[in-house]
Structure 1
Amino acid sequence: MSTNPLVSIQIPTYNQQRFIKGALDSALAQTYDNLQIIVADDCSPDYDIFEFLADYKDNPKVLIHRNETNLGRVANYRATLFNLAKGEWFMNLDGDDYLVNNNFVANAITSINQFDKEQIAFYKGNTPLQKIEESGIAKIMLNEHTYLIKNKDYLANIQHDYGFSHASQLYNTEKAKSVNIYNRNLLDIDYFSFLKCISTGDIIVNNEPVYHWRIHEAQETYTVTPKEYLKRFEAVDELVAVYKDLGKEGSSAVAYTRYMVYIYYLSTVYNQRKLIQELPTILSKTKLSIKYLVPLLATIKNYYLPKNK
């Protein structure tokens, strides 16, 4: 196993001229040397990515690519990973964000190299270690900032919410592809892909910051409708097959994720005042379980009964 594996940093982008150089420069600032940095422009109409990034074209670490047609955000993630990324490990950095920890990749590879490559599914930065300590989850300390956690233990404790931020994971490329990540057009497909990758091996967690998620007026925005949330139930159904060999830990993680999707679904329905229209679908999701009926009854109460002054 190579102790200096190639790492791919994929930077999908669309009409982010103001930010793309910042994202690319932050990737190039990584102290780890064996990098492939892929700028994957999704056919931006506002500017020419090759002309704008002409100063980087001779850098051997940088690959600048433009899709022939617009694929959309998630399809661009997937095409970049499956068609362009060559690294044994990869991370996904959106073109309007930037890395703040120049040592992230180097530290990740140093930790990963303590184990067989086939053991590790991904290295996860920006993890609240205090929650891990408080939950009492089984772990192996690598140093004061870094733990190894078995995937079954992570799934069994998923309700503790150990945090997730999409550009803070360095994934085993082969394992990520094996569970078919980025395969659904969801706003939070990165989180569902993360959940699928947990099934493929153990997890190294670290508490150091990784990147800055930029919020700006040109950012792509979504109105999450009840119909959109139904797609998340389909993504949970997919986890059933992915976790089939993970026993009760996998089953409990699926049940918890389905329940949380249901809670957010009810919140969306309530906020958009569509309870009546969505009630048949809502009832089909409860399966007469008390766990599901309680939040439904609370939503109905809030929907129909005025709050006490």
Structure 2
Amino acid sequence: MIPTYNQEQYIEKTIRSALYQDYNNLEIIVSDDCSSDNTENIIKKLVSEFPQIKYFRNFNNIGRVKNYRKLLYEYATGEYVVNLDGDDFFIYKKFISDSVINIKEEEIKGNKIMFLMACKRFFSPEKGFELIHKIDNQELVIPGKEFILGLFSKYYFSHLTTLYNRKEALKIDFYRSNIISSDLECIGRLAIQGDVILTKKIVGQWNGTGNNESKVPDVSKQIVNCKWIESVANELRGKVSLFKYYYWKLKAKIYYSSFIASALFRERKITSKDLIKMSENKMVLPFILFILISPLKKILVK
């Protein structure tokens, strides 16, 4: 699934990277969220060259998360799905074929696989390339709850390199939350339903473009975004010890306080409404702890 909006610089490379996958039974669906640039014409030209591409264009701009949801619920028909944003691309042509084989092999063994998550490389104009992989094993099969508990320290999250079970995703109401980290909220809840496969293979490139919503310097949006933590925690409760449950929630909230702090630094203001939202989302204490811990971490690193 390829959602896109005003990505004329990247969309052709994105679609071609999907076309170059060597998996035979591949469904390539593009949903254009009413782009106002040349994105539509570029896609139509590719469709004329590769008729297997299914192209849909929204009459109005419905937003990133609703566009994701529309792709999954109205257009996708495959057993497995991967979301490839219109400014990212695959760099390993056997990603999907290898992943399907791995999932099937593990299911034969009796594991209930919710998704396979490979690694990505990150590119930004400021820093260049950065390889992202945080597992020691070449491949790891673990209970999804262990994956969640290890987030931000032992394991990683990568949307564009995750092949997930479509039917299982529909069962838990994927893309129900219109927040920045809607993808992490969905994958987090999905993981807890069964087992996951993590692999060290670097299969895609995530581009840190100016349109990347995770970098939005909006304090209010970053505070509301922390709702994903409570959502995943609700699924986790009762499946791990109370200590692990509360420790994970606090760890995740302290980690995501860095995004609030970054937005606050750029906006240089916080309103009374923002403070109320922080209280409602139980982010006041984690944010204070983050502010206190940050200088200590710098001293320890030195």
Q: Would the TM-score normalized by the shorter structure come out above 0.5?
A: yes
Q: Please identify, of 44-53 and 160-169, the stretch whose mean Cα deviation from structure 2 is larger.
A: 44-53
**Match in the other structure for 1:66:** 57
Q: Secondary structure at the match of 1:107?
A: helix
CA contact (8 A) 2:119 2:133 kept: no
CA contact (8 A) 1:38 1:63 kept: yes
1:153 aligns to 2:153 (yes or no): no
**Match in the other structure for 2:251:** 256
**Match in the other structure for 1:213:** 206
- Number of residue pairs aligned between Structure 1 and Structure 2: 279
Cα distance in 1 between the residues matched to 2:283 and 2:104:
45
1:171 pairs, out of 142, 147, 164, with 164
Superposition pairs of residues 1-309 of structure 1, within 5 angstroms? 10-47=1-38, 49=40, 52-57=43-48, 59=50, 61-116=52-107, 119-126=112-119, 131-133=134-136, 145-216=138-209, 219=211, 223-248=216-241, 249-274=244-269, 277=272, 285=282, 293-296=288-291
Task: Render the CA deviation track for 1:173-199: whole Å, top value 9, x for unaligned.
Answer: 122222222222323322222222221
When residues 95 and 201 of structure 1 are mapped into structure 2, their CA distance, relative to the original with a 3 A threshold, is same
User: What code does the residue aligned with 2:113 have?
Assistant: I
Cα distance in 1 between the residues matched to 2:267 and 2:6:
30
What is the Cα deviation at residue 87 of structure 1?
0.8
When residues 155 and 220 of structure 1 are mapped into structure 2, their CA distance, relative to the original with a 3 A threshold, is closer
What is the Cα deviation at residue 62 of structure 1?
1.9
Cα distance in 2 between the residues matched to 1:23 and 1:286:
37
Identical positions, percent: 26
Report the RMSD for the aligned CA atoms in angstroms.
Answer: 3.3
Task: Render the CA deviation track for 1:116-171: whole Å, top value 9, x for unaligned.
Answer: 287001001017998434xxxxxxxxxx7222112232233234242222201001
Cα distance in 1 between the residues matched to 2:200 and 2:74:
31
Cα distance in 2 between the residues matched to 1:37 and 1:112:
20
Cα distance in 2 between the residues matched to 1:280 and 1:184:
20
Q: Secondary structure at the match of 2:60?
A: coil
Cα distance in 2 between the residues matched to 1:69 and 1:294:
42
When residues 52 and 262 of structure 1 are mapped into structure 2, their CA distance, relative to the original with a 3 A threshold, is closer
When residues 21 and 271 of structure 1 are mapped into structure 2, their CA distance, relative to the original with a 3 A threshold, is closer
Structure 2 gap ranges (5+): 121-130, 296-302
Structure 1 gap ranges (5+): 1-9, 134-143, 302-309
Q: Please identify, of 86-95 and 244-253, the stretch whose mean Cα deviation from structure 2 is larger.
A: 244-253
What is the Cα deviation at residue 77 of structure 1?
0.9
When residues 23 and 152 of structure 1 are mapped into structure 2, their CA distance, relative to the original with a 3 A threshold, is same
Cα distance in 2 between the residues matched to 1:104 and 1:61:
19
CA contact (8 A) 1:40 1:80 kept: yes
User: What code does the residue aligned with 2:264 have?
Assistant: V
